[in-house]
Every structure is written in structure tokens, then in C-alpha cells.
Amino acid sequence: MKYKEIHLLSAKLCSNQLEEERDYLVKLRFAHSVSPIENPMKIRETRKIIARLKTAQNNYYPFRQSSESEV
């Protein structure tokens, strides 16, 4: 998933996609620890997608963290 595709998602869809990718990463890591997976580059690509989604979330809510800490 490219950043251009992620940028078109709404904030809610972005956070849902982030949760799905995190779950997928956990499953990939577990599968890789049990027996080597066929394409270990999937782990790296999933981590990059998660980073892109987090970046998109920060763009949706740039001041969310500072306002939550004040409450």
C-alpha cells in the first residue's frame, strides 16, 4: 500500500487498516519463528506499511498527543 493510497483513506479507515496490519505482522512473525516463511521480505514490507499508516494518522491529528496530555 503506497502513501498516496493511504492518504485517500479516512481517519477511521486508516486506524482500522493499521490494526489489521499489526495483526498481520504478529502472525507473520509467529509463522517465521515456527518455520521460515517463503518470503521474509513480507515482514519488512508490513513494517513499512505500518509506518506509513502511522505517518498518515499523525497528519490527520497533528496535535492530538499534546491535547491529550493536557487533559
- What tens digit of pLDDT does each residue of 30-51 get? 999 999 989 999 999 999 999 9
Please tell me the distance from the alpha carbon of residue 50 to that of residue 17, in angstroms, as a whole number: 9
> Does residue 52 carry a pLDDT above 60?
yes
pTM to 2 decimal places: 0.77
pLDDT value for 67: 47
Domain residue limits, the chain: 3-60
pLDDT value for 68: 52
What's the pLDDT band for 12 if we cut at 50, 70, 90?
A: confident
Please tell me the distance from the alpha carbon of residue 11 to that of residue 70, in angstroms, as a whole number: 22
pLDDT value for 18: 93
3-60: which CATH topology?
Helix Hairpins (1.10.287)
